[in-house]
Structure 1
Amino acid sequence: MVDTPAGHAPVAGALGPYLDVMVEQSRGELPPITFLELDPPIDSANATPESWCAIARILYERREDHRGFVVLHGTDTMAYTSSALSFLLPSFGRPVIVTGSQIPIMRTRSDGRQNLIGALQVAASSDVDEVTLLFGEVLLRGNRATKIDASGLDAFDSPRFPPVAEIGIDITVNRGLVRPAEGQRRLIAGPLGTVAAVRLFPGFSASILANLCRPPLQGLILEAYGAGNGPSHDREFLAAIEAATSQGIVVVVVTQCLHGSVQPGAYAAGSALLRAGAVPGFDMTSEAALTKLAVLLGQGLDTRTVAEVMQHDIAGELTRPV
């Protein structure tokens, strides 16, 4: 980002020279790097599912050329991209660290330099061969991270899963949390499914849901109350969910809460959603649930299979309650 009359904006060619100087001045503490810039660079607020696939494709095509990868990304949609990459690159077997900054790296007081240095050091090691998000003093699993602060420098957290590593004087990896690469390394970066997310609120109108659940929608993330509850006395609302699921739309329930999980059967108000055809997303973040659903639907799987897989862990994104 550089200063423009309209505010901070990405500008092609601004970052490359800075990176070269930073690596040179590290006197060997930073690994040699190859820098690639998307053309044109975009503000992350303009990112789309096609952006996730483009990044995944670049990483996959260069998987044998580098020990690790750092994806520099704006903070607005960083958690969506880090989540998506974990599903688009199954069993990648290389560190992929998504990072960025709250203050542009060209500014004197920027958190970008520290975040970038930490990401490069993690990428150069063989300790965390999965998609992660590094920000401030923590390295988070990419599909467990969410943005919690619009202006603070500790802008990301993983409220439902511990950090994979602490970034302090040393980089301390919690090796017991690192997910090993299993199975065949693949790229899933074709067209993704058409999905949406909606947050319940008191007085939520069933007509809103009915209008949303029209073609070409294939999947819906429903951000419900507490342990996965909704307005169980609203017959029109439940009928709208039943109509959506009967049309083949996969409806997944996650919680609005920062901590905790959807608990099927814990409350009658939650059971009503499941009887209407929705499935629980347990402790997935909204970002992880939405990107996972888009990736699964993009593979051409039938809706029953997608609904079933959404309830199971495939990339470290969820923990089913005991």
Structure 2
Amino acid sequence: MSASRNTLVLYTGGTIGMQQSAEGLMPASGFASRLRDQQDKHPELAAPEWQFRELLPPIDSANMNQTHWLAMVEAIRAGVEQDGCDAVLVLHGTDTLAYSAAALSFLLLGFEVPVVLTGAMLPAGAADSDAWDNLFGAMQALHAGVEPGVHLYFAGKLMHGARVSKLGTASLDAFGVLPRLRQGQCAPSIPAALDYRQPRQQVNLAVLPLYPGIQAAQLQALLSSGVQGVLIECYGSGTGPADDTELLQALQDAHQRGIVLAAISQCPQGHVEFGIYAAGSKLEASGLMSGGGMTREAALGKLFALLGAGLSQTEVEHWFALDLCGERVD
């Protein structure tokens, strides 16, 4: 862990740089000059030298998708490998900030440079905005030294990129790491197929929460849509309507067709442990693999990284069960 002396600032858009328009707040370019002006006004702020890259067009993070994640990886690599940066700060909207932090955690496995994401609940320049506090707080953390890996900085906290979630909208302290049980086996090493240098392709993924009254026909429609992986949000410790034989058969048939099925808990502080209840054991027997205590953001990002690397169903299930960057094991 060493102090950054040349940080890449990668601006993707989001509230932090938005400006008012006739239709409301919208993403805007030109954030580099605003950052430089703010730094000139406050020379007491200890921050590394920085270079600026911008993903164009800047977006509202509600529009974030896999294409943007892959573009971020490309820009991050270029800033480090071509421009000589030794740390990366990603400016990002808050709606999908935790999703991007998780995805980058798995897309940048083996990357020996710290990557910190931050954003703001209020635009830079707005009254009582948290924008500059978050931005310069993240830069000061990098200047002091941050371990390699992906992190999220918000409201004075530096958090693990694959564990954090957005918890609310009414407070500037909007992000946190919920106490979810994390235990299991760590991967002995990162396989070459998952190294950050390996190309990735887009993946057709879906998330489905279970709920009272869910019908097998609804599940079958999703599983017949060309989806490659489904993240199922189960009740409690990994249960669901196990007395619905048609629903269980739909899961089993999909798994036999090669669709990856993963399970996490709907509970904010929950984790999947299929063997506790017979209902959970039946889901597991139908082809679901346990996500343990992973968040939705982490499990979705991990599925994307594994399937996007072209791994087979068996290979995905093997690596999904192991901890790759701290997402499953404390």
Question: Which amino acid is 1:136 matched to?
Answer: A
Distance 1:68 1:283 in 2: 29
Which of 108, 111, 128 is equivalent to 1:89? 108
Report if the CA contact (8 A) 1:60-1:89 is conserved. no
Using the TM superposition, name which of 215-224 and 24-33 deviates more.
24-33
* Alpha-carbon distance change, 203 to 300 in structure 1, aligned in 2, over 3 angstroms: same
Query: What value does the CA root-mean-square deviation take over the aligned residues?
Result: 1.9
- Runs of 4+ in structure 1 displaced over 4 angstroms? 181-185
Equivalence for 1:47:
64
Question: Which amino acid is 1:79 matched to?
Answer: A
Which of 153, 156, 167 is equivalent to 1:134? 153
Equivalence for 1:78:
97
Distance 1:28 1:220 in 2: 46
Distance 1:251 1:270 in 2: 14
Kindly provide the CA deviation profile for residues 226-250 of structure 1, in whole angstroms up to 9, marking residues without a partner as x.
0011111111111111111111101
C-alpha displacement of 1:152: 1.5
Aligned pair 1:19/2:35, yes or no? yes
RCO higher in structure (CA 8 A, sep ≥6): 2
Equivalence for 2:121:
102
Report if the CA contact (8 A) 1:148-1:157 is conserved. yes
Distance 2:47 2:38 in 1: 9
C-alpha displacement of 1:161: 6.3
Equivalence for 2:211:
201
Report if the CA contact (8 A) 2:180-2:293 is conserved. no
Question: Which amino acid is 1:286 matched to?
Answer: R
Secondary structure at the residue paired with 1:19? helix
Which of 298, 306, 329 is equivalent to 1:319? 329
Secondary structure at the residue paired with 1:192? coil
Kindly provide the CA deviation profile for residues 198-256 of structure 1, in whole angstroms up to 9, marking residues without a partner as x.
11111111111111112421100000000011111111111111111111101000000
- TM-score, with structure 2 as normaliser: 0.87
Report if the CA contact (8 A) 1:23-1:32 is conserved. no
Distance 1:153 1:7 in 2: 20
Equivalence for 1:309:
319
Report if the CA contact (8 A) 1:144-1:160 is conserved. no
5+ residue gaps, structure 1:
163-180
Which of 230, 236, 248 is equivalent to 2:246? 236
More strand per residue: 1 or 2?
2
Question: Which amino acid is 1:101 matched to?
Answer: A
Equivalence for 1:5:
22
Secondary structure at the residue paired with 1:222? strand
Equivalence for 2:3:
none
Report if the CA contact (8 A) 1:220-1:250 is conserved. yes
Distance 1:183 1:230 in 2: 34
Question: Which amino acid is 2:316 matched to?
Answer: V
- TM-score, with structure 1 as normaliser: 0.89
C-alpha displacement of 1:128: 2.1
Equivalence for 1:165:
none
Which of 245, 253, 264 is equivalent to 1:254? 264
Could you tell me the percent identity over the aligned residues? 37
Secondary structure at the residue paired with 1:252? strand
Distance 1:141 1:77 in 2: 15
C-alpha displacement of 1:150: 2.1
Equivalence for 2:54:
37
